[in-house]
Amino acid sequence: MRKFMKWIGFGLLGLVALALLAGVALYATTSQRLNRMYSLSVETISIPTDRESISQGQRLFIARCAGCHGANAAGTVIFQDAALGVISAANLTAGRGIGGDPLTDADYISAIRHGVDHTGHPILTMPSESYFYINDQELGEMIAYLKSTAPVDNPLPATQITPLGIALIGAGVFGDLMAAEHIDHQAARPVDAQPGVTVAYGDYLVRTGQCRTCHGPDLTGGKDPDPNAPPAPSLTQAGELSTWNEADFIRALRTGRTPGGRQMSPFMPWMYINQMTDDEMKAMWLYLHSLPPQGQK
Ligand code: HEC
Ligand code: HEC
């Protein structure tokens, strides 16, 4: 019996050692991915300087980016956990707060469309696979707005992931957090959809509005990478949306209240999405209606 227990003991010890080894290997390969240097020669676009473009850019920035970078672009802590680490979304106000170097136009394009920061490293969590599709005009307006901001002093803890956090990122526990790895950086620019209340323009707005980050790659339901977030339901006709009309949809995105009277969780960024115009919301509604009904409620 004692011999038997001894062998079980060895077996368990072996398993623990194996798990540790696997963790260390994951840590090592994931660290390599995080430290990878990208040298991109990004496309050039023209950045407007007029007031109208800057205020358009501000509206687009709030709708698409404020959930992480804050409504005033001064950055926020998007994730903090003693065991896993801290992720801050950068202060993007001019000069990156007080004392930082301003980003160049190429730095902005590389970060937003390619998911690579000004030091050449992949940006964690930022959904650049969606922002890759933002057309030149809107991207120019957003950059114009960011360049026009006054520096805001908002010191943030540096992004720092613990070895456990790094190993878990490598294991895919939080989904894909490094958009830079999935973007074809050499791909030709997509053909722009004409603005209008059309399925094609709704497709563009849903894509660039990063709805897929949480509602899933085919919008049939998914989850925000943050482990604390509730599930994001299907946006096809298989979900609750089958019982909504266009006005219900617009009201829900403006107020966070569903037609059934439920207040949506703040993980659904309606308080920023409500910067979209009625026509933009109508186009998204048309597009969502055109999808095959699939997914859990
Ligand atoms: C899911 C969260 C998230 C969203 C949404 C997001 N970002 Fe980011 N962004 C980040 C993180 C995290 C960083 C990296 C900050 C760091 O490493 O300190 C970053 C970095 C950047 C940088 C690079 C700063 C540098 O130092 O090179 C720019 C520019 C930027 N974001 C612009 C945007 C814009 C514009 C949008 C909207 C179109 C956006 N971001 C949406 C999380 C996000
Ligand atoms: C950061 C994650 C996130 C993003 C990005 C996001 N959503 Fe959501 N969404 C959620 C979550 C979570 C819920 C569920 C909220 C609840 O019921 O409390 C939700 C709920 C909804 C609902 C209500 C659906 C129902 O059946 O009750 C609609 C409509 C919706 N989202 C539309 C959108 C659209 C359109 C976009 C893109 C412009 C978008 N969402 C982007 C997380 C997100």
Taking alpha carbons only, the member of 221, 141, 126 closest to residue 183 is 126
CA 260–ligand 1 middle distance (angstroms): 35
Residue 36 has pLDDT above 50, yes or no: yes
Residue 23 has pLDDT above 90, yes or no: no
Contacts of 256 (CB under 8 A, 6+ apart): 263, 264, 268, 270, 271
Q: Tell me which ligand sits closest to the C-alpha of residue 141.
A: 1
Mean pLDDT of the chain: 92
Q: Tell me which ligand sits closest to the C-alpha of residue 276.
A: 2
Q: Tell me which ligand sits closest to the C-alpha of residue 213.
A: 2
* Ligand 1 atom at minimum distance from 90 CA: 15
* C-beta of residue 153 within 8 angstroms of C-beta of residue 75: no
Residue 98 has pLDDT above 70, yes or no: no
CA 185–ligand 1 middle distance (angstroms): 18
- Tell me the C-alpha distance between 253 and 246, whole Å: 11
CA 116–ligand 1 middle distance (angstroms): 9
| pLDDT at residue 3 in the model | 74
Average confidence (pLDDT) over 84-113: 87
Instruction: Give the pLDDT confidence of 215-268 residue by residue, as tens digits.
Output: 999 999 998 888 889 999 999 998 899 999 999 999 999 999 999 999 999 999
Lowest mean pLDDT, pick from 7-16, 45-54, 159-168, 221-230? 7-16
Instruction: Give the pLDDT confidence of 121-166 residue by residue, as tens digits.
Output: 999 999 999 999 999 999 999 999 999 999 898 989 999 999 999 9
| Pocket lined around ligand 1, Cβ cut-off 6 Å | 61, 64-65, 67-69, 78, 87-90, 92, 103, 107-108, 111-112, 117-118, 123-127, 131, 142, 159
| pLDDT at residue 297 in the model | 46
Burial of 131 (0-12, 13-18, 19+ CB in 10 A): buried
Residue 10 has pLDDT above 90, yes or no: no
Percentage of the chain modeled with pLDDT above 70: 97
Residue 1 has pLDDT above 70, yes or no: no
